[in-house]
Amino acid sequence: MLRARSRASAHRRGGGSRAGGPVTNRGLALLLALSACGPATTTPANEVSAPSPAAAPEARDFATYRTGLVDAWLSRQPALARQAGLHEYDGVIADYSPTGIASYVAFLQEAQRELAAFEPSSLSDVEALDLAILENRIALELEELVEQDQPHTSPLFYQELYRVSRYVDFDYAPVAQRIEKLVAHQEASLKQTQHLLAAMKPVLSRPLVETAITIYAGHASYLKGDLKTLVDKELKDPALAARFAASNTALAAAAAEVAERLEKEW
């Protein structure tokens, strides 16, 4: 993070004032989310693929590289994309398997190396700022994933699986469309829930465990309570209603199991 700040500062001292177009709305929205968002997620398991920004940065201009990196990042961070308002990622869940997490760490490390090859003084003011934002966010995520080892030390790392309130709290699309994506989210999450407790180290911070117990019990209560009540009032399609009921019941049970096992085993 310090390095990224110093690189941006050096650019300002160097008077890099060439005009440069802003990132696309899609990219800018993600960059804003990247600079303000919480814990990282990982590679989506069920859809959306994008090429890794593998080509050497010197072989292309920064704007082109940035676009490829942001798109690749979006494909690996569906929760972050949703937070940025990109609803094409509704219903898409990250890959929380050991392989998926390792793949995401490798992606971040590669991007970190490639971003370091860009010299801020050769970029426009806007591009230098984007470079610093990307470098800072990567440093933060690697700190959480590698240094803090959150996939193995924090049950809260896996909350994306149970966070579905956005589909009903925000009226950004017709209700039937949002419920369809909500059901897809629940169904996709059920393919990932087994990774949470399996990944935890035998000894965890007790205050963190107690916080996680409260949060996952809350997820279970919300899923089988307020969420079910809201959705049941709106569901018109019997087939979708059956899918919602099955996945909702199972996901609520999975959240409750996390809370119960954390209480008993940690």
135 neighbors 112 (Cβ within 8 angstroms): yes
Tokens found for residue 133: 């934002």
Give the per-residue pLDDT at 22. 44
Decide which of 148, 173, 202 is a domain's last residue.
Answer: 148
- What are the phi and psi torsion angles at 21 (to 5°)? -70, 150
Which residue has 């465990």 as its token pair? Answer: 209
Query: Length of the chain in residues, anyone?
Result: 266
Give the per-residue pLDDT at 26. 57
- 156 with 143, same domain: the answer is no
- 134 with 183, same domain: the answer is no
Give the per-residue pLDDT at 196. 98
- 236 with 118, same domain: the answer is no
- 130 with 162, same domain: the answer is no
Low-confidence ranges of the chain (pLDDT < 50): 1-6, 8-23, 25, 28-29, 32, 36-51, 54, 56, 58-59
Task: Tell me the whole-structure pTM to 2 decimals.
Answer: 0.79
Tally the domains of the chain: 2
Give the per-residue pLDDT at 46. 42
- In terms of residue numbers, what domain contains 220? 152-265
Q: What is the DSSP string of 148-165?
A: S-HHHH-GGGGGGGG--T
Rounded CA gap, 210 and 140, in Å?
Answer: 25
For 128-161, how does the pLDDT look when each residue is reduced to its tens digit (9 = 90+)? Answer: 999 999 999 999 999 999 999 999 999 999 999 9
- 215 with 88, same domain: the answer is no
Strand partners, 94: 44
Decide which of 85, 118, 148 is a domain's last residue.
Answer: 148
Decide which of 113, 148, 183 is a domain's last residue.
Answer: 148
- 102 with 222, same domain: the answer is no
- 107 with 200, same domain: the answer is no
Tally DSSP H helices, then E strands, for the chain. Answer: 13, 0
Give the per-residue pLDDT at 60. 61
- 132 with 35, same domain: the answer is yes
Give the per-residue pLDDT at 23. 46
Give the per-residue pLDDT at 142. 98
- 157 with 144, same domain: the answer is no
- 116 with 177, same domain: the answer is no
Going by C-alpha positions, the residue among 118, 123, 120 that lies closest to residue 8 is: 120
- 16 with 127, same domain: the answer is yes
Rounded CA gap, 260 and 266, in Å?
Answer: 10
Give the per-residue pLDDT at 31. 54
- 115 with 246, same domain: the answer is no
Rounded CA gap, 8 and 25, in Å?
Answer: 22
Q: How far is CA 78 from CA 16, 160, 170, in A?
A: 34, 9, 17
Give the per-residue pLDDT at 28. 47
Give the per-residue pLDDT at 18. 35
For 110-131, how does the pLDDT look when each residue is reduced to its tens digit (9 = 90+)? Answer: 999 999 999 999 999 999 999 9
